[in-house]
Structures are given as C-alpha cells and as structure tokens.
Amino acid sequence: MLKLDLQEGSRAKVDHHELASRAGQYLSKSPRPFLRWAGSKRALLPELVGALPQHYRHYYEPFLGGGSLFFLLQPRWANLGDLCKDLVETYLAVRDKPSAVLRYLQPLLPDREKYYAVRARRSQGPYKRAAEFIYLNKTCWNGLYRVNSQGMFNVPYGAPKTPNVVDAENLQACAEALASPGVSLTCSDFSETLDAVDKGDLVFLDPPYVTRHNNNGFIDYNERLFSWEDQERLADHARTAVRNGASVIVMNAYHQEVLDLYDGFRCREVRRSSTIASFSGARGSVGEAIIWKHGSEAA
C-alpha cells in the first residue's frame, strides 16, 4: 500500500515500483475508475508513474474525467475539479451514499430501449440521477460525453459486449477514496481548482484535446474542445506552480505548438490505441505527450 502520513501538510511517499505494479493490473485492483471516459489515461498509467516525484503534499487535478491517476494514488489531501456538472454531481453522489447509487443502478441492464428511455427522461434525485449517468456512460458509444445545444446528453447506444454495468465492490472503494476528509471536489474552471497550489504539491493536468488532426490545422481542430487561449492560460498556471515549488505533470497532444508552451519542461512521447473514431479506418496508434517538471528543478 502507498504509505501516507495522516496529518495535513505532511508528505506522501511515492513508491514507484508498487504504483507501476498496480497500474499494470488493469482490471483487478480497486479503486479504479467506475466510468468510461473519452481520453482516459488509464492505459497510460504505467508511463505516468515514471514522471511522479518522490514525495508530494497535496494533489491537484482540475480535469478529473474518469479519475485514473487519482484512484491509483489515493491521496489523502486533494483538490479535484471538472467543468462537467453531471460528472461532478455523480462523483459527489457516489462519495456521499454509494449504497443508494447502487440500489438504483444494479437493476439497469444494457438494453437499447431502456437506454433511450433513460436518456430521454433523467431523474432529479441525486442518487438515482447519478445511477442513470453511470448507466448511460457504461452503455453509450465509447464512453463519450456529448450534449446538444439544449444541454441534453445525445450520444447513441453503444451495444456493450458485457452486461456488467457496475462493479459494486469497486464503486464502494472509489467512494471511500473520494470520502477522505482532505479531498474536495468542485465544478469549476481549472484556475479555481489550482488556486492554492504551493511548494511540494503535485499537479496533474489533462485538458481536453484530440490527437488525430491535420497538423496545419491543429489549433482550429481542437478549438471546440479547449480553446488555444485556455491552453495558454493552463501553461501559465503550470509554470507558476513549478516556480512556487510544485511538481507538475501535463498530458497533451504531441504537437510542436503544445510543446512550445512548456519550454524548459521535460517531455516524452507515448503511444496508445485510439478507439474514439467513428469508423475503424481512422483508429490506430496515436502519439501523446507526457510533459513534466518538478519544483525542485526550477531555476
């Protein structure tokens, strides 16, 4: 197990060997993400472990998504955030009352008619709504989250190959990780989540981006996901955090314009399989960048 001092402000010791071993046990270790999330870094966790510092105090992740690195590290002190309100409310419901979420979720089995009925009429109660969010996420096409101009989730049914929508034991383990008294979770812009980053902290930044694009149109292609102005703001926050003594790890597209934003950071290209394209011919191995710098390395 990861060794943590229980007092606020103390440092968590990173056992790289143990974390790499856990990261490689893709389906057997809890807690692990209970959601499928487009752009998830779950398959890249063994690569991310190598960029971790030896110690850290407080963990910050403002683009939580599926929470792969958070659930691997299980930090006692963490600031988590995301701009997706439905996602954050689901995490809060799982944290506060996983038994209630499970009660509503377990009867929901993959079925086309049921899927579209749930998608068309969402409940208002927090635990039932969270169960519906997990159900839609696990049975929709490729775990994609997309809404129309009215804010309605509109991803088509994905015909999953397994009837298993939830692992009750894992959901409980996730709830326990989220319920640590030092873990906060908010629906907010990344700048708010990162507001209190200080010396010795660990920041993981995984903003929205796509890797398959025309190189000459990289910025235009990604603008609808996360504007170039936001990318520049994010890089400014990363540099400030490092100057203040924090360790920062960034995942982004392996593209020169992105790499230029993090001049002075270390960078390594990693390859992973892409499954998000709507037809198989557009899928395949894609390159992404792990960009990192520890506060101890700041000039």
Q: Distance between CA atoms of 110 and 246, rounded to whole angstroms? A: 44
* Token duo for residue 40: 């998830």
**Nearest Cα residue to 44 out of 57, 33, 53, 34:** 33
pLDDT of 282: 46
Find out whether 194 and 235 touch, Cβ atoms under 8 Å: no
Instruction: Report d(CA 291, CA 5) in Å as an integer.
Output: 28
pLDDT of residue 143: 86
Going along the chain from its start, the domains and CATH numbers come out as 12-83+188-297 (3.40.50.150), 88-168 (1.10.1020.10)
Taking the C-alpha atoms of residue 256 and residue 278, their distance in angstroms, rounded to an integer, is: 26
pLDDT in tens, the chain (299 residues): 233 333 445 789 999 999 999 988 877 778 999 999 888 898 899 999 999 999 999 999 999 999 999 999 999 999 999 999 999 999 999 999 999 999 999 999 999 999 999 999 999 999 999 999 999 999 999 888 888 888 889 999 998 988 889 999 999 999 999 999 999 999 999 999 999 999 999 999 999 887 655 555 566 656 667 889 999 999 999 999 999 999 999 999 999 999 999 999 999 999 877 655 444 444 567 789 999 999 877 65
Cα end-to-end span (Å), the chain: 34
DSSP 47-100: HHHTT--SEES-EEESS-TT-HHHHHH--SEEEEEES-HHHHHHHHHHHH-HHH
Bridge partners of residue 82, in order along the sequence: 187
Q: Tell me the whole-structure pTM to 2 decimals.
A: 0.90
Report the distance separating Cα 206 and Cα 39, nearest Å: 9
